[in-house]
Amino acid sequence: MNKLLSTSIKEVSQKIYDGAVRPSEICRASIKLTSLVKPLNAYITVTSDVAGKQASDADARQRQNSLLGQLDGIPIAIKDNYCVKEKPTTCASRMLANFSPAYDATVYERLRKQGVVLMGKTNLDEFAMGSGTVDSFYGPTKNLWGSEMLSEFYSCERDGPSVTTWQPHERDAWRIAGGSSGGSAVAVATGTCYAALGSDTGGSTRNPASYCGLIGLKPTYGLVSRYGLIPLLNSMDVPGILARTVDDSILILNAIAGTDPADPTTVQREYTPINLPETINVSNLRIGIPKEYGVQGISEEIQACWQEVSRHLEEAGASVVPVSLPHTDYSIVCYSVLNRCDVASNLACYDGIEYGHRADEWSSAHEMYKKTRSEGFNDVVKGRILVGNYFLLAENYQEYYVKAMKIRRLITQDFDVLWNNNIDLLLTPTTLTEAPIYNEFTQLDNQTQCLIQDHCTQPANMAGLPAINVPIKLSRKGLPLSLQLIAPLFHEQRLLTVAKWIEQTMRFPRLELKNSCLLE
């Protein structure tokens, strides 16, 4: 069972179809593993009751030879900003600590109909506002990599740099998981589920995937429904997928993508499921290397990874060419303005009357409203609301919001120029370094860290483009190093094909649970 929890969806699904293992056995082992890795704080809610019922139903379908597909009986997790009927959906905030929606998000509904087993709702930065999963009402999520649990419960499947051992004097020097979908990333990395949904507004799926050694897929805006995803920035939010392999991410994407009548922003055309060829040829591709992504602060090891993968692509016959995206440096500032404007608007409904936490204040409706919002949101959220309202004042609207929208158009046009000049994909860093130590990461405030962490990931959201994080190798300290691919709109097939080629070429070491971890 330890080996099964560490493998891919494709492999464990075959075991289920062959009758070699029951979905309920996998579910029980996954639930036990969630308790063993609980100190990492990946989950806000473990839905063992739901998982048990869904696994039992999958058992019955297995006995009747009527399994629903490759996802039937497969444990997955969902970031806690997606609605799941009658289960807590908190957005990692006190404001929604007691909120249980009356409906399922479309992405979960589609996965449920494929027979998945829901392990739980995962931790995030409050209302997805952060890049470390350190600003949650339920406490920070800790990265498996660099933790004492890594050497205690896991081993690498092939030789590589030795994993950093846990030193007593470093007990507070754990590594961040990345954010804001850090809980989903750690849930997959630890083996408690085979894949997880995150959300991606400025890099919130790809960033934790980078730090946790996972595939992190951000589809094209509009390809996947946002219905039931509690919004951060409506025009950039995209459901993201965290998985161990490219093939696993494709299975999840094929299950959730496509038009949704409940979400008018989804593309109004039939989705064609993605199938990758057995043999991948990259010799006909032109890969752009944008100079603006080689910014100050990029580590020598990330730079070396970037050059190494570029060299492998050239050796395989691809044309690797330098390109420019001249408005990249404005993207983060532009995003900061648009983000805060949407936050001020989207969070206005949390007043303690219709939605959310209600303060114990009865002197007047105004005082109750004021105290409710003061208690319900953390300082990061309150700061963004205040700044967003300032940007939206009549006297400031043109200077901030309208100007930011114009810059967004320029950023989008930068990408269009490259695609029109026959650039097929872009290869960039995802993050500038390996996963930072928590104490060092928190020396800078939330906004400053987002400016740093989102530099390479955010422009793709600005233009609505599909992008994917691919883990490359381990650093000298035994931590994941990753790169990002960006493709034109709706070119997921091309994006995932090249990601699979890189995955096969670089062979990032996979973790496997030790036999002593679970009693079989």
Q: What is the domain-level CATH number for residue 241?
A: 3.90.1300.10
Domain span holding position 25 = 4-155+169-275+465-513
The reply to whether 64 falls in a domain is: yes
Whether 356 is covered by a domain: the verdict is no
Distance CA(489)–CA(416), nearest Å, equals 10
Query: Quick check: is 240 in a domain?
Result: yes
Confidence (pLDDT) at 165: 42
SS3 439: helix
Q: Is 327 within a domain?
A: no
Note the pLDDT of residue 172: 55
What percent of the chain has a predicted confidence (pLDDT) above 70? 96
Q: Which one is predicted more confidently, 241 or 516?
A: 241
> Whole-prediction pTM value?
0.96
Please write the tens of the pLDDT for every residue from 116-160: 999 999 999 999 999 999 999 999 999 999 999 998 999 876 544
Per the CB < 8 A criterion, the answer to whether 206 and 240 are in contact is yes
CA distance 247 to 243: 9
pLDDT score, position 163: 47
The domain total for the chain is: 1
Q: Is residue 78 part of a domain?
A: yes
| Domain assignment of residue 184, yes or no | yes
330 inside domain:
no
Residue 418: inside a domain, yes or no? Answer: no
What is the identity of the amino acid at 140?
Answer: P
- pLDDT tens-digit series, residues 165-184: 434 335 558 999 999 999 99
282 touches 313 (CB < 8 A): yes
Give the residue numbers marked as catalytic: 79, 180, 204
Q: What confidence tens digit (pLDDT) does each residue in 396-410 have?
A: 999 999 999 999 999
Q: What is the pLDDT of residues 272-304, one digit of tens each?
A: 999 999 999 999 999 999 999 999 899 999 999
What is the distance between the alpha carbons of residues 518 and 348, in angstroms, rounded to a whole number? 46
3-state secondary structure string, 363-392?
A: CCHHHHHHHHHHHHCCHHHHHHHHHHHHHC
Nearest to 130 by CA among 45, 202, 81, 40: 202
Is residue 420 very low, low, confident or very high in pLDDT (cuts 50, 70, 90)? very high
pLDDT for 245-272, tens place per residue?
999 999 999 999 999 999 999 999 999 9
Which regions of 108-224 does DSSP assign to beta strands (E)? Answer: 117-122, 154-156, 195-200, 215-218
Residue 355: its pLDDT value, please? 82
Could you identify the residue written with the tokens 């960006």? 486
